[in-house]
C-alpha cells in the first residue's frame, strides 16, 4: 500500500494544488508534480456526472436530517422544493397509506411501493430540480450483514442504471439527497433492490420497492 508520509513530494504537490484550486489562484505551478495535480483537479471538476457513479453518495447520518434543510419534515421539504423550483407548492395532504411520514405531492415525485404485496417498506422520491432527487424510505427491513440496498433507474432488468447504494438501520428509515445521471428521464421506474456483497454489481433481481416515473 502507498505510504502516507505527508512530507513526500506528491503529497505536498497535492496539497499545494488543492489550496490553489480552492482559492482560485492561477499562478504557474512550482513543479511538474504540482502541474500534474492541477490537471487532475481540473479533470475531477469537469468529470461528467456518470463518471461519479461508482462512488457512493454520503450516507445519511441518523438524527441529522437533510443537511441543507435541517430537521424539517418531508412534507415541508417537498413543498418548499416544489415551490422554489416551480412557483407552486401543491401538497395533497392525505397519506398514501404507506407510512405516516410519507405524504404525496402532485407531480415531480415518485412513490415506490413493495414489489411483493405484503412486503414492508415504502419510499417517496421528490425531484426538486432537474437532476436532483431526494429519497425518503420508511419501514424498510434493516440491512442485514452482507447486504445493502441499491436505488436504480430502470426500464427493465436489461436497461437500468445504478443511482446510489445505501444501508438501512434499525429505524427502517433513511433519507438521501442524490444527483441523477443526465439520462434519467429515459427510464420508466425507480427501483430499490436488495443486493448482496460479493455477488457482483448487477441488479440482484430481488427488487423490494418500485415506482413509475411519471
Partner 1 sequence: MAPPPPDLNAEARTPARGSARRDSRATEALIARRPEAIALVMEAHGQVLLGFLEGLLRDRARAEDVLQQVLLELWERGPTYDPDRAGLLTWALTIARSRALDELRRRVPEPLDPATMSERLGAEDHQADRLLEQWRLAGMLERLPRDEATLLRMRFYEGLSQSEISAQTAIPSGTVKTRMVNGLRHLRDLLEREEAGA
- Per CB under 8 A, does 142 bind partner 1? no
CA geometry: angle 176, 68, 191, nearest 5 deg: 15
- Per CB under 8 A, does 35 bind partner 1? no
Determine phi and psi for 175, rounding to 5 degrees: -135, 130
Q: Which stretch binds partner 1 (CB under 8 A): 44-52, 78-86, 104-112, 120-128?
A: 44-52
User: Cell for 93?
Assistant: 395532504
Among 30, 56, 92, 131, binds partner 1 (CB under 8 A): 56
Residues facing 191 on adjacent strands:
152, 210
User: Cell for 18?
Assistant: 488543492
DSSP state letters, 129-198: ETTEEEEEEESPPPPPTTEEEEEEEEEETTEEEEEEEE---TT--EEEEEEPPGGGGG-SEEEEEEEETT
- Per CB under 8 A, does 18 bind partner 1? yes
Residue closer to partner 1 (CB basis): 82 or 166:
166
Please tell me the count of residues contacting partner 1 according to CB under 8 A.
51
Among 23, 24, 26, 61, binds partner 1 (CB under 8 A): 61
Binding site for partner 1 (CB under 8 A): 1-2, 4, 6, 10-11, 14-15, 17-18, 22, 36-37, 40-41, 43-59, 61, 67, 143, 148-150, 162, 164-167, 179, 183, 186, 195, 197, 200-202
Amino acid at each position: 500500500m502507498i505510504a502516507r508520509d505527508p512530507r513526500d513530494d506528491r503529497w505536498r504537490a497535492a496539497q499545494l494544488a488543492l489550496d490553489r484550486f480552492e482559492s482560485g489562484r492561477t499562478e504557474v505551478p512550482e513543479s511538474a508534480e504540482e502541474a500534474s495535480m492541477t490537471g487532475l483537479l481540473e479533470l475531477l471538476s469537469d468529470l461528467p456526472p456518470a463518471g461519479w457513479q461508482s462512488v457512493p453518495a454520503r450516507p445519511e447520518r441518523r438524527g441529522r436530517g437533510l443537511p441543507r434543510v435541517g430537521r424539517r419534515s418531508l412534507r415541508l421539504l417537498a413543498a418548499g422544493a416544489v415551490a422554489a423550483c416551480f412557483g407552486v407548492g401543491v401538497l395533497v395532504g392525505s397519506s398514501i397509506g404507506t407510512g405516516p411520514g410519507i405524504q404525496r405531492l402532485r407531480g415531480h415525485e415518485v412513490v415506490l411501493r413493495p414489489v411483493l404485496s405484503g412486503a414492508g417498506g415504502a419510499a417517496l422520491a421528490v425531484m426538486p430540480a432537474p437532476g436532483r432527487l431526494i429519497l425518503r424510505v420508511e419501514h424498510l427491513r434493516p440491512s442485514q450483514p452482507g447486504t445493502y440496498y441499491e436505488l436504480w433507474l430502470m426500464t427493465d432488468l436489461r436497461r437500468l442504471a445504478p443511482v446510489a447504494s445505501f444501508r438501512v438501520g434499525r429505524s427502517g428509515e433513511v433519507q438521501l439527497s442524490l444527483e441523477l445521471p443526465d439520462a434519467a428521464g429515459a427510464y420508466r421506474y425507480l427501483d430499490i433492490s436488495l443486493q448482496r456483497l460479493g455477488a457482483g454489481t448487477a441488479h440482484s433481481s430481488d427488487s423490494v420497492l418500485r415506482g413509475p416515473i411519471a
